[in-house]
Amino acid sequence: MTPLKSSPRRQWLTTLLSASLALGTGISAAQSAYPNKPIRLVVPFTPGGVTDTSGRLIAEQLSKRLGQQVVVDNKPGASGNIGTQMVAAAEPDGYTLLLGFDGTLVINPHVFPKVGFDTLKDFAPIGKIGDAVLILVSHPAVPAKSLKDVIALSKTQAGGLSYGTSGTGGTPHIAGELLKQRTGANLTHIPYKGGGQAMTDVLGGNIPLVYTAIAGAISHVKSGKLHAVAVSSAQRSSSLPDVPTFIENGVPDFEINSWVGLLAPAKTPKAVLDKLNTELNAVLADAAVRERLNGMGIAATPGTAEKFGQEIQRDLARYGAVVKSANIKAE
């Protein structure tokens, strides 16, 4: 029997199929070999802060587990928007990652007229690193120790009871505004250019209250220089176990933590995201790492990328409502 000759069309289809298979095999092999070069972790803030320090710790530990250096690249500016924009526009190959901060990803989009990125469309969550518990503290001379007494005192003040924070639109500011909305407290926000300046003023008795991350206040609370009113976590902080939560003080569902986590550009291959999530969770399971994070005021929270993504969506919606109600605008 005479063999059938391949038509030009059949030869073309065979060539195309072979090329597609080869391309698919190449992509699969590249993903399975990930990472095969250094990874850049963009931190959208200046070096030295708690966010930057936690990112450097995670980068150091991931470098050991991945066998490739994870290089921290600080790109500060516009309250974190500049560095975040850079990652949103980066190649989605797993070699450019973002140290994501709640203030930048779920608050900035509501307080800035334009941020240059879409939190939900431009990023793929990898996993949350941890939560920084917030705390409301007062100068010891303030004649109110419980949250109930602070709220009552605020209502006797014509201009409101002042509370300082690290700045307009930060998580402590959002927490203070939400407290006002939930309790009717007459509180007046005093924004500073950093938590350190706010802490200096409350220690000096220049303002009665400060809302801040627990790491910045814990030493002053333990020394008696400041009084701890309440913490914003769901349960009491292990760092200050005698301080009640806002929920215990009768404010239902009042859980506001400042979180930090890892994200990649949208369309990063799932295999890469899964590998990074697995390695991040392994890092966070290490007792020494957890202890170092705890020293920064961050409680490690290993978990799935899906859960982290759900939390981002939740906070983006609920903080947006607070910002709109309080008419908060970036300065």
* ω into 44 cis (within 30 of 0): no
Task: Give the mean pLDDT of 4-33.
Answer: 51
Taking each helix axis from N to C end, the angle separating 195-203 and 214-223, rounded to the nearest 10 degrees, works out to: 20
pLDDT band at 12 (very low <50, low <70, confident <90, very high): low
Q: What's the CA gap between 65 and 284, in Å, rounded? A: 12
**Domain-ending residue, one of 195, 212, 231:** 231
Check which CATH number belongs to the domain holding 85 and give it.
3.40.190.150
Residues 94 and 74 in one domain: yes
Residues 71 and 140 in one domain: no
Q: Token pair of 106, please?
A: 């779920």
Task: Give the mean pLDDT of 20-34.
Answer: 55
- Is residue 2 situated within a structural domain? no
Residues 109 and 43 in one domain: yes
Predicted confidence (pLDDT) per residue in 42-86, tens digit: 999 988 888 899 999 999 999 999 999 999 999 999 989 999 999
- Is residue 246 situated within a structural domain? no
List, in sequence order, every residue forming a beta bridge with 88; answer none if it has no partner: none
pLDDT band at 14 (very low <50, low <70, confident <90, very high): low
Which residues have C-beta within 8 Å of that of residue 309, sequence separation ≥ 6? 125
pLDDT of residue 32: 62
- Is residue 120 situated within a structural domain? yes
Question: Which three-class secondary structure state does DSSP give residue 203?
Answer: helix
User: HEC profile for 253-266?
Assistant: CCCCEEEEEEEEEC
Residues 122 and 148 in one domain: no
Predicted confidence (pLDDT) per residue in 211-270, tens digit: 999 988 999 999 999 999 999 999 999 889 999 999 999 999 899 989 999 999 999 999
pLDDT > 70? residue 6: no
Predicted confidence (pLDDT) per residue in 112-129, tens digit: 999 999 999 999 999 999
Residues 320 and 298 in one domain: yes
Which residues have C-beta within 8 Å of that of residue 37, sequence separation ≥ 6? 68, 95
| 46 in Cβ contact with 52 (< 8 Å) | yes
Residues 205 and 194 in one domain: yes
Q: How far out from the chain centre does Cα 158 lie?
A: 36
- Is residue 31 situated within a structural domain? no
Domain around 140:
133-231
Q: What's the CA gap between 222 and 214, in Å, rounded? A: 12
pLDDT band at 179 (very low <50, low <70, confident <90, very high): very high
pLDDT of residue 290: 96
Count how many domains the chain has.
Answer: 2
- Is residue 20 situated within a structural domain? no
Task: Give the mean pLDDT of 96-110.
Answer: 96
Check which CATH number belongs to the domain holding 226 and give it.
3.40.190.10
